[in-house]
A and B are shown apart, each in its own frame.
Chain A
């Protein structure tokens, strides 16, 4: 990435970025330490329960990331500002990572709990479908070259995909509950809730940092493209 351009370099708030990175990972470490040391071993699951402190907040962040994609896709189609497209794309990438993390941890949790790596549990299944929708969104971005077309198309796909999230969730929930037992709803002991909340805040900070970082990279890429554009327009 060409960073020798002075004006480009100084326009990006690198310092605060680094502080944010320190802060969010420090909070994450503290939240993990607190929740692991303060939660008693759970009756059925024992210490396995501690996966929850990442698994559940990561799932929340997945939904939040989808919401960010929705908001900035709508903003893009409305105002046509390139920054909105780049933020939506960054949120989708980060959301996909959290989504993958949720799925992986869910499977690791499920193996000892249910005895299988995968079960068509309502939450697990709908999270998987969300993952596929994210993949589709990112694939579309990869297969379209023109920046304007890519921005408009992915905004449309982002909005339509986000509309589908609650519908997918509801349909999969019904699919599992109409004929079968609902999957073990964990009535949460208050001993765990504080740890969960702390970790949710920590992961929220991490997600904000990631999206911001990804957005900065995307902007640098675009700036490099535009520099090439100016050169092409200027000289023969």
Chain B
């Protein structure tokens, strides 16, 4: 019974977050536009040589995801703070981890939509050749995005309530994401090339371990973070 109520809360928060972000003009459109703009700027800075762009494609896409992701995570708590809705949210009975889980799920849906756009644009702009092992490549992307969303949502829950939230979130989040960035880009590059050494598998395991470890750690820590 209890878990059914909790799951209902998680879903309600996620649905509410995605709906408001898609409806708000400042929400999805602007965050996705930022991601695409970063890609275009990187293309201008690194191009126009096709081979140079191809080599830089993976890194460019990931940087675009990181920077626009930070914006999205901060927004997801800012929406609550601006309208004074965080207090009513904290006032509902039931365990507080459901709030984190709901925000996490909402951000995951939100970022999945954004990643789809950014990656599609990246493939076109950086003339990426789709390799035969593209499903594995998508898997790497998914694992990386999960890691990004888990830590991004967790740190945003603090940074957005501090002074200087715009600066604090990237300052906290980016160093923590170094393993994700290194693993996802290296594995993707290997998969886009020949990957004769089968390097990608080791990186995928690392990404999966990273996701599981921090999913558990952030869930345990959130109770202490959200408390007034």
Contact = CB atoms under 8 A, between A and B. Distances in A.
A and B touch in the complex (CB under 8 A): yes
Interface of A: 77, 129, 132-133, 135-136, 139-140, 143-145, 149, 152-153, 155-157, 159-161, 163-164, 167-168, 170-172, 174-175, 178
A178 B199 contact: yes
Nearest to B172: A136
B20 interface: no
B225 interface: yes
B97 interface: no
Interface of B: 151, 154-155, 158-159, 162-164, 167-168, 171-172, 174-176, 178-179, 182-183, 186, 197, 199, 202-203, 206, 209-210, 213-214, 217-218, 221, 224-225, 227-228
Contacts of B225: 152-153, 156
A174 B202 contact: yes
- Central interface residue in B164, B172, B199, B203, by most chain A CB within 10 Å: B172
22 contacts: A132-B174, A133-B176, A135-B171, A135-B175, A136-B171, A136-B172, A140-B158, A145-B163, A152-B224, A153-B158, A156-B225, A157-B158, A160-B151, A160-B154, A170-B206, A171-B179, A171-B182, A171-B206, A172-B182, A174-B186, A174-B203, A178-B199
Nearest to B207: A171
Contacts of A153: 158, 225
Contacts of A156: 158, 221, 224-225
Contacts of B228: 149
Given A143-B164, A167-B213, A174-B202, A160 B179 contact: no
Contact of A155 (B183, B213, B224): B224
B175 A140 contact: no
B227 A152 contact: yes
B217 A133 contact: no
A100 B163 CA distance: 26
Contact of A160 (B162, B167, B176): B176
Q: Which secondary structure characterizes the binding site on chain A?
A: helix
A139 B202 CA distance: 34
Contacts of B164: 143
A143 B206 CA distance: 33
The 4 closest A-B CB pairs, nearest first, are: A132-B175, A171-B179, A156-B221, A136-B172
A71 to B, nearest CB: 16
A133 B175 contact: yes
Contacts of B178: 129, 168, 171-172
A167 B179 contact: yes
B172 A157 contact: yes
A167 B171 contact: no
Contacts of A149: 228
Contacts of B182: 171-172, 174-175
Nearest to A145: B163
Contacts of A136: 171-172, 175-176
A60 B224 CA distance: 31
